Structure 1
Amino acid sequence: ICSRVTFVNFTVTRASLQSQCLSQVLKQERPDVDEKRRDLLKLQGEFQQRLRHLEKDLLESLNNVKGRILDDDTIITRLETLKKEAADVTKKVQDTNQVMKEIETVSKQYFTLSVACSSIYFTMESLNQIHFLYQYSLQFFLEMFNATFTENVHLTNKTDYNERLQIITFDLFQMIYTRIALGMLHEDRIVLALLLARIYLKSIQTEPNYEDEFDILIRGNSDTTLDEKQVQQQRQQQQSKASEGLTAKQTESMLKLSKLPAFKSLQSQVLSNPDFPKWIDEINPELKVPQLWLELTPLTNIGKQFHRLLMVQVFRPDRLLSMARIFVSTVFGEQFLSEADQVLDLGPIVEKEIQSTKPILMCSVPGYDASGRVEDLATQMNQQIISIAMGSAEGFSQAENAIAASARNGRWVLLKNVHLAPQWLITLEKRLHAMPSHQSFRLFLSMEIHPKLPSNLLRMGRIFVHEPAPGIRANLQRTFR
């Protein structure tokens, strides 16, 4: 079988996604350059093919020689013609190579964005390591990427290419965070924001490389494992020098952080800084972090906040989330996190962002039912909706009939408690792929977060997580909305 089959690898790689995103951004932002680029690639292919044909003709001519080659005028004339054509084609190839270099100079302006796009997608792919619910398709990412060009009001009347590139880059990160965060548990959102900040900082030329710092922040510097005996000795030394009662965990984290050049004197700074004992007992230590690091080169405000974040992680991990929000706000601005923290307004999202072929997954924690929000939304938007409770054989047949009919006439369907039928959801996902639908049709699936939910369905749909809002203010906003 293998001898008769051609295997094609459709796996998405970082390089292939970079190339795809670069091509898309050039097509949208620099159509003149993109057209030249595509034409030149076509010409180069044609020229290379012509050269191969000339080589083949040359070999055939030499093979057909009878007698001495110098006595055959036809062959000599043919060889001269082939030589001239080959020289012309070679010159044209060289000319196209020069133009291609000029085009690549323009393309390099957008290369950083394409690299960021690739990193964002593979970061999205890795989020399922945090929670099984976080499954995202390449199509979902490309929809958001394209929306930054086609639906971006911030680009109106902007003609400078560099300014447009900055707007596109920032708005892409904002859109990625907001749309994904709405489908995450509150406690996991800040992790996504930090991962995006890591990618974004690589695109800022004025910022240094923070990879070592991010490794410590995200992975806890797991590669730098200290010997337990060494940790104990260091802790005893600290305590003998009147250290302010650091726990074993704080001491170990401090020793790991001191492996960074900027924190190499952290232990001595802790002992000598008179403000440290008071700071470590503050209610909100993230608001005023003492500088216990060395500035080998002057740090930007982002760099300073990052070092403060590492300090809080080591000595006051209970305030890490608050400090992380300060750091993310320093990188992206105050509004970056707040958009996803607002009370969810499903109306515009369902109407403008979600296509009829994409199911809307209303996932909630146990004891929290989100189906009422869908029914209220249908009433608000004057949409006919069919609600069906799942869990019985009768419910399955009713659901299938309702979906088939509503897909034709453009009504809404709400299936409640679908987590009770995980096997049926697998067949539903396959059916939705092949089913044509009216543009007004919407399928809502309300469910509790359950590990048996099909991953393909999660990738196919748009996820919204519903849980009790954290904090009194958020709960009041949700209550009175």
Structure 2
Amino acid sequence: MGNNCCASSDGDKGDVAVTKQVRVQDIVDAHSSVVQSGADLALLERLEGSSWIRKSDGNAMGQIQNSEVVWDSGFKSANSKLSSNGTATIVMNIKDKDKSYSFSGTVAFEDPVSITWSDGDVWKKRCRGGWKDRLAQSTMSRSNVDKEEAVAKEAQAACEIDEKEAGEAAATANAIKTECQRELDEALPEYYDAIKALDSLDKKDIQEVKSFAKPPALVEVVLSAVCLLMNKKETWDEAKKVMNDTGFLQSLKDYDKDALAGNVKLTQKLQKYVKREDFQPDQVRKVSNAATSLCMWVRAMDVYARVARSIEPKKEKLKGAEDAFATAEAKLQAKKKELQVVQDNVAALQQQLAKARSKAEKLEQDAETCKVQLTRAEKLLSGLGNESVRWDAASQVLEKNIKFVMGDIALAAGFIAYAGPFTASFRGTLIAHWLEKAKEVNLTADPAWKCSDTLCEPAEIREWNIKSLPADDLSVENGILVTRGRRWPLMIDPQGQGNRWIRNMKKDSGLGIIKLSTPNFLRTVETCIREGNAILLENVEEVLDPSLEPVLLKQVFKKGGQLLLRLGSEDVPYNESFQFFVTTKMANPHYLPEICIKVTVINFTVTLLGLEDQLVAEVVKNERPDLSELRAGLVVQIAADKAEMDRLEQLILKLLSEAGDDLLSDDTLIVTLDQSKKTGDGCKERMVSAELSMKEIDEVTEVLRPCATRASIIYFVVADLANIDPMYQYSLQFFTSLFQQRLAASPTAEDISERIHIIIQDFTQFIYTKICMGLFEDHKLLYSFMICNRCLRHEVHAQFMHKQRITLQEWSFFLRGLEAGKGIIDDTLTQAVEPPAWMTAQSYRKMLVLEQLTLKAGSEVFQGLAKDMFTPAWENFGTDDHMAGRSLPGMWAEKLTPFQQLLVIKSLRENFLQLVVRNFVGAELGKHYTVSPDFDLVGCFKDSKKTMPLIFVLSAGADPTDYLVKLAKDFEYEERLHFISLGQGQGQKAEALIKHGQETGDWVCLQNCHLAASWMPTLERIQEMQDPDSIDDMYRLWLTSMPSPTFPVPVLQGGIKITNEPPKGLRANLTRTFQESSDAKEHSRSFPCTFEPFRGHHA
């Protein structure tokens, strides 16, 4: 991001001014308005720094806007005015929480006597109005009823005895019946499975078995068992006769399994088959699917027969129990009739009692109400007892943190204004710098300030994570910038993570997805503005369509009481729920100030740690799918439980706050509290269990993390290749798919450590080979060197590899040479000493700088090296033209790591660097990484898909046409391969040819794409709009192009890139000759002595 940009005094109207004049008052107004808008002055007086706010002329925010850290970054934004309403809201939210916790804690410590009446007061009130007289009358009437009820109770008791006996008899019978049925049910599932398997068979399956002239032994055994059950001879010929019967399968389904249970002799004969170790469906399935179903049927019959015989004695016992139950039941019914007569008499007396009793009931209800309220008070205290301690602690935390509010808000405003385009490390630098400046103007901010603590709730962050936003700090900060910024976000999103998050977040509420290449995209924007849906504008470049300016600047106006936005030539009703998101896949775009003042630019580029977390999840999913599924479920469960706990807490606080003085008049609060407590206890138990499980999963994840670390390192190497050549573009999605592919295909191992090393080695070799297919020869060694040094520069991964880490000073010296010591080493130390006669002054200075630079960093590894240059051994080594293949003199060969030795040779003879780098890569990674992979067009074709173009990146003198024609001939596709050379007027023909190829499955080759720069956006649109379901599986799109910055990045990222340079040197020529001589190879087997010399001659 090159330019500095800031808004004019009225940025919302679109006025643009490129200047370094600071608008301090924009942000200061946000804070002073808290006082002016009527916020609680007593509260503000308690804020440390509030007096400064009232007297301030903008010092604090001026420090942030004038920050040299911001200016040094080369970026200046006008998105710096935090809404005054938002500022006041943050302050008042803290105040409201403090009041809620404080009030609720007070209620929780109240004494029950102060909440309701005392017992004595209750009974005094209830004794007024002759309550005792009415109670005595109802008592006399009640005594008559009691006498009759006593008679009824005796009858009831006798009846209950008989009922108990009948119940016991019934229980005995039911127990026997249940046991019989249970044992039978154990056999039935296998029987039903067998019948289901038979249903899946058809005539073709039976024909398959019959077709065996000499069936497999296991198939013959299965059919013999079937014949035995069918009372047929146990021979193959007889089995074929049985299967020839058209009703064969139906006869198996209708087989009398109960008769088999009674035929002991037959079931005993059957045991010789079912007891065979190989008479198992899994074993039979290896030789015949149809025989598998028959095997299942035979086994099911055997199980059923054995179970049915075992329960026969129990059936007899069941009959006796049922007879005993019938006798007891008859006796019970007689007693019940006698009881009914007595109960009718009691009912008559009870009717007489009803009037007297109703008067007493009301009085009892009144007394009960008092008791209930007392019970409610006790429950209320019990339910809130534990919470009160936590609420009191939370209130104290808010009281403590409230002094940081103004400083935190100032930092938040600066963060929203400036942090968006920067990396995680630079954001940290900004915050640290601002904290220092805040101290200078006596503005207190939290020393451990994080924007997520100030501007977001944990529940919201958890929801973002569930919607696929990575959980690292940078991604969370980006989520806050997207949702809290005053302007619509423009996300620098080369890996598509922000795009995916927005899609998941908005898919349920309505999301329109457009590109600037989408026909009539303004219609989609207009519809979403009307309906209040979100718009996602994808894959923008460095210029935005001017027609979107009213949307970006939110040029909303009111007319006739309705909000409108002028889009094009018409006024569109504006729904305030409308949201607008913009993403670009460009890794390092250059946006002019005119764009920066209209949007919030946010850097969504994936970080090493963020990608590592994503890839380690893929490793766990492959290695321990059970843990991966468990983790996914636990993440959702923990988030849901925490959200439920938050909801319950807010509900309780709300009910307590709204209850007023009489907390006990309504049972809602008590019931809600009781239910909430039970639900909360359940949530807490689940969360404790889930967090323990997550800890175990995290331990396994950390063991597997080195695999993801290596993959993440390699991805950033691959992503950096685009800095070498614009054609070297690879998407994270493409890279991840390769990683998943190799995880599944790599060799397995029982030992976890061995398995990790296998994954690392296998994937590193695989990705090296795949990426090299699309690199020019001059860049392949650089690619392997980048992989090697990135691995060794990563401290944790270098330690895992049991290698010494390349330090920052060593790497800086490799890149910058003498420049690495500027500002760190005194030049007089490196210029005063005369070099040895055999060395140049510059080479000797490099030795001195290398020694001093590492000493400054606390390493003595190079100490004495410069002095040793004066020895004959070093003179002999330094003047040897074959020094790259020799070991360093003396102790230095053992003392220095391969990279440190590389630095020494580079300093002595830089012209040997390429050879030394090759040796270094071979020593650290292996010889595989120093040799270019063979040209493999067939492999590239097999790796491709119908929606994935194959792109030949051309070099001077290279023509892949012959190779493509040969490939088509090998696949008998020569007649269906269509070529078209792009140029003036060829666009429509190419588009028609692509459409034809997608429909028919033909291959289409578009040659010289670099000559059709104006048509490349059309090619990008075709690739973006293609529907996989409507494309023939054999269709392939081949593209050839010289390296060109106009080639569409999305097409490059989604395709397989192939280079085919003319061979350089005898070895490369011979290798290519051997690869291409597939027909000659067959001939060479007959004439090896004559063929080989001709290969060398023609190489």
Give the equivalent residue in structure 2 for 1:333.
926
Give the equivalent residue in structure 2 for 1:166.
757
Give the equivalent residue in structure 1 for 2:839.
245
The alignment status of 1:93 with 2:687, answered yes or no, reads yes
Alpha-carbon spacing, 1:69–1:336, altered in 2? closer, same or farther (3 Å): same
* Aligned partner (choices 978, 987, 991) of residue 400 of structure 1: 991
The alignment status of 1:37 with 2:611, answered yes or no, reads no
Q: How does 1:312-461 map to 2 (within 5 A)?
A: 312-338=905-931, 341-351=932-942, 353-383=943-973, 384-393=976-985, 395-436=986-1027, 437-461=1031-1055
> Which string of whole-angstrom CA distances, capped at 9 and with x for unpartnered residues, describes residues 362-417 of structure 1?
12222322222212221233223112222231x33332222111122222122222
Give the equivalent residue in structure 2 for 1:210.
806
* Aligned partner (choices 873, 886, 909) of residue 275 of structure 1: 873
User: SS at 1:150's partner residue?
Assistant: helix
- Paired letter, 1:404: K
Q: TM-score, normalised by structure 2?
A: 0.40
User: SS at 1:358's partner residue?
Assistant: coil
8 Å CA contact retained: 1:235, 1:251:
no
Query: What's the offset of the Cα at 1:288?
Result: 0.9
> Which string of whole-angstrom CA distances, capped at 9 and with x for unpartnered residues, describes residues 226-257 of structure 1?
799938x8467334xx4313253x23432332
Gapped regions of structure 2 (runs ≥ 5): 1-550, 555-575, 583-601, 1077-1099
Query: What's the offset of the Cα at 1:64?
Result: 5.5
Q: Give identity over the alignment, percent.
A: 25
Q: Aligned partners of 2:651 and 2:818: how far apart in 1?
A: 63
User: SS at 2:1005's partner residue?
Assistant: strand
Q: Aligned partners of 1:59 and 1:444: how far apart in 2?
A: 66
Alpha-carbon spacing, 1:105–1:181, altered in 2? closer, same or farther (3 Å): same
User: SS at 1:238's partner residue?
Assistant: coil
> Which string of whole-angstrom CA distances, capped at 9 and with x for unpartnered residues, describes residues 243-289 of structure 1?
313253x23432332222322322101113x2222222223211113
User: SS at 2:1004's partner residue?
Assistant: strand
Alpha-carbon spacing, 1:159–1:221, altered in 2? closer, same or farther (3 Å): farther
Give the equivalent residue in structure 1 for 2:592.
none
User: SS at 1:446's partner residue?
Assistant: strand
8 Å CA contact retained: 1:190, 1:325:
yes
Higher relative contact order (CA 8 A, sep 6+): 1
How many pairs does the alignment contain?
A: 464
Query: What's the offset of the Cα at 1:6?
Result: 6.4
Q: Aligned partners of 1:19 and 1:229: how far apart in 2?
A: 43
User: SS at 2:720's partner residue?
Assistant: helix
8 Å CA contact retained: 1:409, 1:441:
yes
Which is worse superposed, 3-12 or 206-215?
3-12
Gapped regions of structure 1 (runs ≥ 5): none
- Paired letter, 2:1069: N
8 Å CA contact retained: 1:363, 1:370:
no
* Aligned partner (choices 258, 264, 274) of residue 863 of structure 2: 264
Alpha-carbon spacing, 1:50–1:337, altered in 2? closer, same or farther (3 Å): same
Q: Aligned partners of 2:581 and 2:1044: how far apart in 1?
A: 36
The alignment status of 1:185 with 2:779, answered yes or no, reads no
Q: Aligned partners of 1:228 and 1:88: how far apart in 2?
A: 64
- Paired letter, 1:391: G
Q: Aligned partners of 2:668 and 2:988: how far apart in 1?
A: 81
Alpha-carbon spacing, 1:311–1:247, altered in 2? closer, same or farther (3 Å): same
Give the equivalent residue in structure 2 for 1:133.
727
Query: What's the offset of the Cα at 1:418?
Result: 2.2
> Which string of whole-angstrom CA distances, capped at 9 and with x for unpartnered residues, describes residues 36-84 of structure 1?
2112112212211221232233234425536443676764565345334
- Paired letter, 2:805: N
8 Å CA contact retained: 1:280, 1:315:
yes
Larger Rg belongs to? 2
Give the equivalent residue in structure 2 for 1:287.
885
Alpha-carbon spacing, 1:65–1:417, altered in 2? closer, same or farther (3 Å): closer
Q: Aligned partners of 2:994 and 2:1068: how far apart in 1?
A: 35
User: SS at 2:888's partner residue?
Assistant: coil
Query: What's the offset of the Cα at 1:346?
Result: 0.7
Give the equivalent residue in structure 1 for 2:427.
none
RMSD across aligned positions (CA): 2.9
User: SS at 2:870's partner residue?
Assistant: helix
- Paired letter, 2:981: A
8 Å CA contact retained: 1:26, 1:34:
yes
Alpha-carbon spacing, 1:93–1:347, altered in 2? closer, same or farther (3 Å): same
User: SS at 1:366's partner residue?
Assistant: coil
Alpha-carbon spacing, 1:292–1:70, altered in 2? closer, same or farther (3 Å): farther
8 Å CA contact retained: 2:935, 2:1060:
no
Q: Aligned partners of 1:67 and 1:137: how far apart in 2?
A: 64
Query: What's the offset of the Cα at 1:12?
Result: 4.1
8 Å CA contact retained: 1:266, 1:293:
no
Give the equivalent residue in structure 1 for 2:87.
none
Query: What's the offset of the Cα at 1:129?
Result: 1.9
Alpha-carbon spacing, 1:379–1:76, altered in 2? closer, same or farther (3 Å): closer
Alpha-carbon spacing, 1:169–1:316, altered in 2? closer, same or farther (3 Å): same
Q: Aligned partners of 1:434 and 1:361: how far apart in 2?
A: 19
8 Å CA contact retained: 2:1016, 2:1046:
no
